[in-house]
Amino acid sequence: MGCAGNRARVGSQRVVERTPNKVPSWIGQSSWEKGENIFYVGAAPGRADFALGLREAKADAEKKLVEQIRQKIRTEFGSAVEGQNVDGQMGNYVKDVITKVSENIEVSGAIQDDSYFEKVEERTGSGVRYAFNCWTTVRLKHSDYLEARRSASVGAVAEARKVNNARAEATLKRAFEKLENTAPATVLSRP
């Protein structure tokens, strides 16, 4: 048999390098909580530039963090408002205010925690090309989440005050007080 029998197929890939040497257990997860921290995973597969891949993976993790925190804030405030037996129109208005404010809140305190990459060799018609699959984790303290929630509350109350809606302002204050008195044990939703 000639040399052609040993050739890899065009498009076939193999990992030629990885750091660290063992694939971390968090690969394949999107987020989890451990102690007082919440972790989010970002990925950037198939990047030609390693440094760019890591930056994109971090940005992906931060984007997921912010999206999930905003969603959690909307859900928590929505539940707190529903528990007040507010009429439909007022309840909808208050939920709309929370949605608007939560879209503009800043989540601070996110720190890159860990990273992992693979250098992949892919066979092409003219030889090989190399690409990097990059992952990173970003960590947020639970207290930073609670601060983002407080910020959303302050912004929502200010929004209701700006349009002179005293009922909405009172409803929002009661919802926030309820949340403060029953702080969630976890930020992430459990399946």
For the chain, the domain total comes to 1
Picking from 106, 107, 99, the residue whose alpha carbon sits closest to that of residue 76 is 99
Q: State whether residue 37 is helix, strand or coil.
A: strand
The dihedral of CA 9, 10, 14, 17: what is its sign? positive
5 belongs to a structural domain: no
**Binning pLDDT at 50, 70 and 90, where does residue 35 land?**
very high
Residue 119: inside a domain:
yes
**What average pLDDT does the chain have?**
88
Please indicate, yes or no, if residue 41 is contained in any of the structural domains: yes
pTM of the model: 0.81
Q: Where are the alpha helices (DSSP H) in the chain?
A: 50-82, 88-103, 142-162, 166-181
Measured distance CA(99)–CA(101) in Å, rounded:
6
- Which range of residues forms the domain containing residue 29? 13-178
Euclidean distance between CA atoms 159 and 143, whole angstroms: 24
Angle at 64 between CA 122 and CA 179, to 5 degrees: 160
What confidence category does residue 4 fall into, taking pLDDT thresholds of 50, 70 and 90? Answer: low
Q: 73 and 102 in contact (C-beta within 8 Å)? A: yes
Other CB atoms within 10 A of residue 51 CB: 10
Mean pLDDT of 47-76: 94
Would residue 111 count as lying in a domain? yes
Distance CA(69)–CA(150), nearest Å, equals 12
pLDDT digits (tens, 9 = 90+) for 92-109: 888 889 889 988 888 889
Per the domain annotation, does 75 fall within a domain?
yes
pLDDT digits (tens, 9 = 90+) for 63-86: 999 999 999 888 888 888 877 777
32 - beta bridge partners?
A: 39
Please, what is the angle between helix 50-82 and helix 142-162, to 10°? 60
Instruction: Name the band, by pLDDT with cuts 50, 70 and 90, for residue 140.
Output: very high
Specify if 93 maps to a domain.
yes
Does 189 fall in a domain?
Answer: no
